[in-house]
A and B are shown apart, each in its own frame.
Chain A
């Protein structure tokens, strides 16, 4: 029904839009008052928005925002979270206690609520969005890495390294993280989906990018005001958002199944 190759194609075009978008002759910020909310024409295949800017051009430049924000946030969260979690799990004792309590506190908030509050406090702007999401995003990875590390800690090769006097950081980097990377990669894949949604969500609430920069979330928000007279403004960015998130989730599922099978096979 919704095949992996299709998902891959969508994600590839997402990346392509993000990477080569700046090279294309786009006019995402070009205002034309005559064209306010007009339908598609030769210059704008998807019609125009509420100040007469071409929607397709804005869609493509919005792809760049969502792509780079999600890559950045997931990268920061994964690296930070995995390191912190694995180290805490491996070292144990007071460090682990403190890290676990911090994780507990962060998990006491519904994630999106904390992100909204943080973004609201930091003020609008894409850099603040990245900070807000990363400072909440690492927690999930830390929890996962810690739990996985606890189950690996007593393995022979880890013990051997410890006896040899290897430093904890080196053990974590060399002997633990490679073994627990599979679930972390799966988590990171799904992380991309949630960050794409969260970024758009913040922009939807007006806490994300600043105008005239296009974000799919702010495009949806702008569109909702004129649904009665021009519904294409709200539909276009939403479809793009849905396709991306759907594809990421689908591939995440496949990846998880595949890694599951692989670990089971290697274990058996």
Chain B
């Protein structure tokens, strides 16, 4: 008996310890405002970040020269600009701008240093190609900086969205990802572990914690228990509805602008037949998918730009669900029960995407198209897409604001060269060629008259919908859920976190 007791006591005290630690954990009411993130920010260095979470956090930490209004037109942010000539832009920094977080003033030198750094080929910044048309950045005085271009581009100021970094730290090779220093409304506090980032709001020293919670169930639970105050996006619709039934939480929705599409490989012979593509467009019941799978602000798409984008077209309508017509079109194209159309549909292995793909697969099966689904993790998926190794794939264009996307995606000169593996010049991955589209793109690029540009882009949209290189699916909504005690959180038009600058908490 005597030997047994210590073990028993040990277990008991362990349980007590557990109880103490456990209740201790839940009782601590954090002074910080906590934001639950679905993804870990990868890089807080504006020169390297490519993921949406980092970009949104970077907006809090750094300021960029140019931003966008809700119609996605470039507007002055840290600087206002004047076009002196098509190749020469002059930017005047906002005189009331904040200093860097380390106390140094932000000057034109810092702007030059930031862009020179991005343009340096040795840095291998993923943003370099988007600003590669900059020939030179010239400091005029402390508040004035000139950008000299190598070719005219009416969309140019819209490319200057990289957060400005302090020159003296850039020169020293400071690790901005480990300790970001910018001039935004939030200052870096600490990043004790990958999944926990702390920022301080400068105006009132309010601490913010960005907690990474992959699992959607967990994010919802933590919100309900008050362990986080705000969550945004990346929630299955079922969980959003579940949250809407809870009274301590407010759920918000807002129109989104990320364009989801189903892409055809036009190198593949059966898909070169427009009737086949049209049949597929008619076979997908987008309205029903959106009703059952997405929040109520998700909109059906007809083009890469939303109707409220300055280059969008509110009149444009995509193809309606019409399985009878789809079957008829397939029959005309020579397919039927004896000779079914077989296609391979690739998607990422993100569960929600697989769910959508499964539904589309089923709907296509209903009109007699045999689709086999292949799910891959991102790298493999993406490399297949770029090599043109697919029949169908679906993907979204995220945070696309500038119309240079048209050349990048639809111009015949942007078809990646097959055979030369690394010579991707563009993202026309379905090998779409249309002389009319090429011409509209070129004409729009050459005019600085806003009305003219809008006209060309609307023609472009219409032509793309007719020729159907991709089936436009939908623009997913943004949703956020906040605890009732949190005041002032608004979902931004592009889902950024800017309104955290104004958020307050009722204690």
Contacts and interface: CB of A to CB of B under 8 A. Distances in A.
A/B contact in complex, CB under 8 angstroms: yes
B311 interface: no
Nearest to A205: B349
Nearest to A124: B375
B4 interface: no
A10 interface: no
Contacts of B239: 226, 228-229
A225 B374 contact: no
A30 B358 CA distance: 10
A226 B355 contact: no
Contact of A34 (B241, B292, B351): B292
A212 B374 CA distance: 10
A33 B359 contact: yes
Contacts of A36: 238, 292
Interface in B367-387: 372-377, 380
A239 to B, nearest CB: 20
B380 A123 contact: yes
B216 interface: yes
Contacts of B242: 228-229
Contacts of A72: none
B375 A206 contact: yes
B359 A51 contact: yes
B373 A210 contact: yes
A34 to B, nearest CB: 7
Contacts of A222: 351, 355
A168 B376 CA distance: 46
B148 interface: no
B289 A33 contact: yes
B236 interface: yes
Contacts of A230: 238
Given A31-B362, A123-B380, A211 B238 contact: no
A163 to B, nearest CB: 58
B358 A211 contact: yes
Interface residues of B, number: 32
Contact of A123 (B289, B291, B361, B376): B376
A206 B351 CA distance: 9
Contacts of A256: none
A150 to B, nearest CB: 42
Given A211-B358, A225-B236, A226-B236, A33 B374 contact: no
Contacts of B372: 210
Contacts of B221: 228
A37 interface: yes
B359 A210 contact: no
B220 interface: yes
A29 interface: yes
A226 B374 contact: no
Contact of A225 (B217, B363, B380): B217
A51 to B, nearest CB: 5
Contacts of A210: 372-375
A237 B86 CA distance: 64
Contact of B351 (A29, A37, A225, A228): A225
Contact of A211 (B216, B357, B380): B357
B104 to A, nearest CB: 47
A211 B375 contact: yes
Dominant secondary structure at the A interface: loop
A221 interface: yes
Contacts of A199: none
Interface string A23-46: 000000111011011000000000
A9 to B, nearest CB: 34
A50 interface: yes
A227 interface: yes
B435 interface: no
Nearest to B288: A33
B142 to A, nearest CB: 53
B362 A30 contact: yes
B248 to A, nearest CB: 16
B373 A211 contact: yes
Nearest to A125: B374
B354 interface: yes
A32 B374 CA distance: 21
B380 A50 contact: no
Contacts of B241: 229
Given A124-B376, A211-B357, A212-B361, A226 B292 contact: no
Interface string A109-130: 0000000000000011000000
Interface in B324-359: 349, 351, 354-355, 357-359
B288 A206 contact: no
A29 B361 CA distance: 10
Interface in A45-87: 50-51
A36 B242 CA distance: 14
Contacts of A221: 351
Contacts of A51: 355, 358-359, 362
Contacts of B355: 50-51, 222
A50 B351 CA distance: 10
A123 B215 CA distance: 24
Contacts of A37: 238
Contact of B362 (A123, A212, A226, A229): A212
Interface string A200-212: 0000001000111
A206 B353 CA distance: 13
Nearest to B292: A33
Contacts of B376: 123-124
B217 A31 contact: no
B220 A228 contact: yes
A230 B217 CA distance: 11
Interface centre among B220, B221, B359, B363 (most CB of A within 10 A): B359
B238 A206 contact: no
Contacts of A34: 292
B361 A225 contact: no
Interface string A206-243: 10001110000000011011111110000000000000
Contacts of B349: 124, 206
A51 B289 CA distance: 10
A84 B293 CA distance: 53
B215 to A, nearest CB: 8
13 contacts: A29-B362, A31-B359, A33-B288, A33-B359, A124-B349, A124-B375, A206-B377, A222-B351, A225-B215, A225-B217, A226-B217, A228-B221, A229-B242
Interface of B: 215-217, 220-221, 236, 238-239, 241-242, 288-289, 291-293, 349, 351, 354-355, 357-359, 361-363, 372-377, 380
Given A31-B362, A211-B357, A228-B217, 4 more contacts: A36-B238, A50-B236, A51-B358, A224-B217
Nearest 9 CB-CB pairings of A with B = A31-B362, A33-B292, A228-B217, A229-B238, A206-B349, A229-B242, A212-B358, A211-B358, A211-B373
